[in-house]
């Protein structure tokens, strides 16, 4: 039987169903082939897709997350945040003793882990002065724990021993594993993870949380054992809080531990001299009595906050609601407006200068056009910093342009023009830098317009201007759109050139973003400013698409 006959027999309906040559249903065979083609196509584009995700999508997603992320307050002061829920800022008074008691535990832990300065820097963005308050308190917070340590060690010297705490809070299994690790002496081997003793978390909740943090912090470097490391002073103040609130019979619920030492301490805690946590913090710094400091901590205690976006539009989150920032601090709206206006002005200047050049390149003979094209591309072969610095030399009051104007008598030596460290200098320098990005799209589109169209229009009686405006210009609109979008998007994100030639009146919002990323380290505000800038660009892009049509944008 011939191959054609076999193929024909293979697709003949058998039992009412079309089948392929291998006997499988034709529909299933086609679906399998189509799936293989899709997988093959996906494998071809996968490297590029992964590259785009890693270098473009992921940074944007991270920026959007950073603009609302605010977990540092709740992570650093978890007990204080919970205690503050019952405090009413409108009372006009600082929180009561329970809040300061929770703050004492949180702050001592933060000081041990060196996190209090990070939190102070974060809150200082919202309330200047908190950073110094946190640094000063970090230096004196251990005095609270030291007071209770003296009280406990006066009862029994065993409280000074790291092994006492390890035996009380660590499980027997962990203690055995930890002892074996210590005896082996191999500090490169991983330590056994800390395991809590059953029942201790219910009997001593505050101290358990502190000791777990202590054990993990000690084990983080892989060289020390919690059973051999001096306990943090905060453990003593936390233990005093727990024993004051826990009935003595609850201590018997701690499984497998010798609680005799603990029960003796529980009986003695009631005789301790009352400790005033609020007074202790006020002795460290009287600013802990300021309501506005506590308002800031409470306002920014949620894990996510609109505060960065509010600051980015010159607003702030106050106890009575969202309100405008003081007039002397309102700079970002002005910078956004200036950035958009100057970017549009730079784009217009590029179009005004670039359109005739592109027309010449497209209509001159090839040899002349090639020479001009080299001149257009020449700026790409020169460093951006060199070009910007050259404009500083040209535009400054003692620069080349002013010297020529004085020599020609156009301006007086005492009245030299101020052309730098202002908006004019930024527009001139950036127009020169972005001009090739306007010329090249225009040229690529104009090169495709047949010159016969203009000759035909003139032969039908149109004037040169009418022929250009009615015939040539509409066909060059796609190049205008492409060049304008390219120049505008590049201009709106520039920060090197405005920084060098813009002074205080010619800088863009991108300069503030760069400042917050590299100098003030306020990455949340920088992310919020960047997100708003991204949103503004996308909005303008959408408006442009509705008015002009993005399909009309071509690069040639």
Domain residue limits, the chain: 3-66, 75-140+290-299, 157-269, 335-552
Residue 234 pLDDT exceeds 60: yes
pTM: 0.78
Q: How far is CA 456 from the centre of its chain?
A: 58
For 335-552, CATH gives 1.10.3720.10
Judged by average pLDDT, the poorest of 18-22, 464-468, 490-494, 508-512 is 18-22
User: Are 265 and 239 within 8 A, CB to CB?
Assistant: yes
Angle between helices 400-408 and 384-395 (to 10 degrees): 30
pLDDT tens per residue, range 383-403: 888 888 899 889 998 889 999
* Secondary structure element (H or E) that encloses residue 322, with its range: strand 321-324
**CA atoms within a 13 Å half-sphere pointing along the CA-CB vector of 148:** 30
Contact partners, residue 451, CB within 8 Å, separation at least 6: 363
Largest CA distance in the chain: 113
- Of the pLDDT bands very low, low, confident and very high (cuts 50, 70, 90), residue 43 is confident
- Of the pLDDT bands very low, low, confident and very high (cuts 50, 70, 90), residue 45 is confident
Contact partners, residue 486, CB within 8 Å, separation at least 6: 437, 438, 441
Antiparallel, parallel or unpaired: β 321-324 and 315-318:
antiparallel
Mean pLDDT of the chain: 87
- Of the pLDDT bands very low, low, confident and very high (cuts 50, 70, 90), residue 345 is very high
User: Are 438 and 354 within 8 A, CB to CB?
Assistant: yes
User: Are 550 and 544 within 8 A, CB to CB?
Assistant: yes
pLDDT tens per residue, range 83-95: 999 898 888 899 9
Q: What is the pLDDT of residue 190?
A: 80
Q: Which of 11, 254, 288 is nearest to 144 (CA)?
A: 288
- Of the pLDDT bands very low, low, confident and very high (cuts 50, 70, 90), residue 553 is low
User: How large is the average pLDDT for residues 494-511?
Assistant: 89
Rounded Cα distance between 317 and 323, Å, is 7
């Amino acid at each position: 039987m011939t191959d054609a006959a076999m193929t024909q027999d293979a697709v003949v309906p058998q039992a009412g169903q079309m089948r392929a040559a291998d006997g499988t249903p034709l529909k299933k065979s086609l679906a399998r082939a189509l799936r293989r083609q899709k997988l093959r196509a996906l494998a071809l584009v996968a490297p590029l897709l992964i590259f785009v995700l890693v270098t473009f999508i992921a940074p944007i997603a991270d920026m959007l997350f950073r603009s609302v992320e605010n977990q540092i307050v709740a992570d650093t002061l978890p007990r204080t945040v919970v205690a503050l829920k019952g405090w009413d800022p409108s009372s006009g008074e600082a929180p009561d003793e329970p809040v300061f008691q929770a703050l004492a535990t949180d702050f001592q832990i933060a000081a041990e882990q060196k996190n209090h300065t990070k939190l102070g820097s974060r809150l200082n963005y919202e309330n200047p002065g908190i950073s110094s308050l946190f640094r000063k308190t970090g230096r004196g917070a251990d005095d609270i724990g030291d007071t209770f340590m003296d009280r406990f060690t006066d009862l029994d010297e065993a409280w000074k021993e790291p092994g006492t705490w390890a035996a009380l809070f660590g499980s027997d299994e962990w203690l055995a594993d930890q002892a074996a690790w210590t005896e082996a002496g191999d500090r490169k081997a991983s330590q056994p993870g800390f395991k809590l003793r059953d029942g201790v978390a219910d009997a001593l909740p505050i101290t358990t949380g502190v000791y777990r943090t202590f054990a993990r912090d000690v084990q983080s470097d892989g060289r020390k054992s919690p059973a051999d490391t001096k306990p943090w002073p905060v453990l003593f103040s936390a233990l005093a809080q727990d024993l004051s609130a826990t009935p003595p019979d609850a201590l018997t619920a701690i499984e497998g531990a010798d609680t005799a030492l603990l029960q003796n301490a529980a009986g003695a805690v009631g005789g301790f001299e009352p400790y005033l946590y609020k007074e202790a913090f006020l002795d460290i710094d009287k600013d802990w009595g300021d309501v506005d400091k506590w308002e800031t901590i409470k306002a920014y205690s949620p894990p996510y906050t609109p505060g960065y976006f509010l600051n980015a539009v010159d607003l702030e989150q106050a106890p009575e609601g969202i309100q405008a920032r003081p007039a002397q601090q309102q700079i970002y709206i002005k910078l956004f407006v200036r950035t958009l206006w100057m970017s549009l002005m730079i784009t217009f200047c590029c179009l005004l200068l670039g359109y005739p050049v592109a027309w010449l390149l497209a209509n001159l003979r090839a040899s002349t056009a090639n020479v001009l094209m080299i001149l257009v591309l020449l700026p790409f072969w020169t460093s951006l910093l060199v070009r910007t610095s050259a404009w500083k030399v040209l535009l400054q009051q003692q620069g080349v342009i002013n010297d020529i104007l004085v020599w020609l008598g156009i301006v007086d030596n005492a009245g030299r023009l101020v052309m730098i460290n202002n908006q004019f200098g930024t527009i001139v320098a950036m127009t020169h830098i972005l001009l090739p990005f306007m010329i090249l799209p225009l040229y690529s589109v104009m090169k495709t317009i047949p010159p016969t169209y203009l000759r035909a229009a003139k032969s039908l009686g149109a004037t040169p201007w009418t022929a250009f405006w009615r015939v040539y210009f509409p066909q060059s609109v796609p190049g205008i759109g492409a060049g304008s979008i390219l120049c505008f998007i590049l201009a709106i994100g520039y920060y090197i050139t405005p920084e060098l030639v813009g002074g205080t009146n010619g800088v863009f919002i991108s300069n503030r973003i760069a400042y917050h990323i590299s100098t003030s380290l306020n990455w949340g505000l920088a992310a919020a400013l960047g997100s708003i800038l991204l949103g503004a660009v996308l909005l303008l892009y959408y408006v442009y698409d509705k008015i002009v049509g993005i399909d009309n944008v071509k690069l040639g």
